[in-house]
Amino acid sequence: MTGRIESRLAELGITLPQATAPVANYVPSVRTGSQVFVSGQVSNGPDGFIKGKLGADMSIEEGAAAARACGLSLIAQLKAACDGDLDRLVRVVKLVGFVNSTADFTDQPKVINGASDLMVEVFGDAGRHARSAVSAASLPLGVAVEIEAIFEVK
């Protein structure tokens, strides 16, 4: 039987990316009690890493699309942490979004909305979360956005 959230993903036409494991001494996620901490996911799409610097060579819309890609990877990692059953999500607790930007860029919230909107599209009210959105001087591989998350699960 297809889960409620899986049906919602299908309805939205969303295919989750592969939940990839880092080739290093850290892991995609750790569960402690009812909380799942997911490692920072860099913007990565079907055509490879989404690179760029907001305020220089990337529009807010492109940045929001990069943040949405991070959000898809976060959900993919959550699914892996829940043994494939996204219906075990109780609540998206927190996102911290890092935007690769110039020193005078001021629209971090509009960029990270790409991930926040996705969470509510997919999970409804359970997708509403606490959030911080800031700029990083730079990000791994030159990606445009990196987002980490805390989820509450049952």
Least separation in angstroms between CB 1 and a second copy = 28
CB of 22 to a second copy, least distance (A): 8
Contacts of residue 40, defined as CB under 8 A and 6 or more positions apart, other chains included, come to: 98, 146, 147, 148
Smallest distance from a second copy to CB 119, Å: 7
- Our CB check for a second copy shows the closer of 2 and 130 to be 130
| Nearer CB in complex with a second copy: 55/63 | 55
- The minimum distance between CB 65 and a second copy, in angstroms, equals 16
Binding site for a second copy (CB under 8 A): 22, 24-30, 32-35, 37-40, 53, 55, 90-96, 98, 101-109, 113, 116-117, 119-120, 127-142, 146, 148, 150, 152
Least spacing, CB of residue 11 vs a second copy, in Å: 18
**Cβ-based nearer residue to a second copy, 9 or 36:** 36
Cβ contacts of 14-21, under 8 Å, gap ≥ 24: 14/72, 14/122, 16/72, 16/75, 16/76, 16/79, 17/44, 17/46, 17/69, 17/72, 17/73, 17/76, 18/76, 19/73, 19/76, 19/77, 19/79, 19/80
Question: What pairing do the DSSP bridges indicate for beta strands 35-42 and 29-32?
Answer: antiparallel
Taking the least distance from each CB to a second copy, the nearer of 50 and 98 is: 98
Rounded-to-integer distance, Cα 110 and Cα 145, Å:
12
Comparison of 26 and 83: residue with beta carbon closer to a second copy: 26
Q: What is the DSSP letter of 141?
A: G
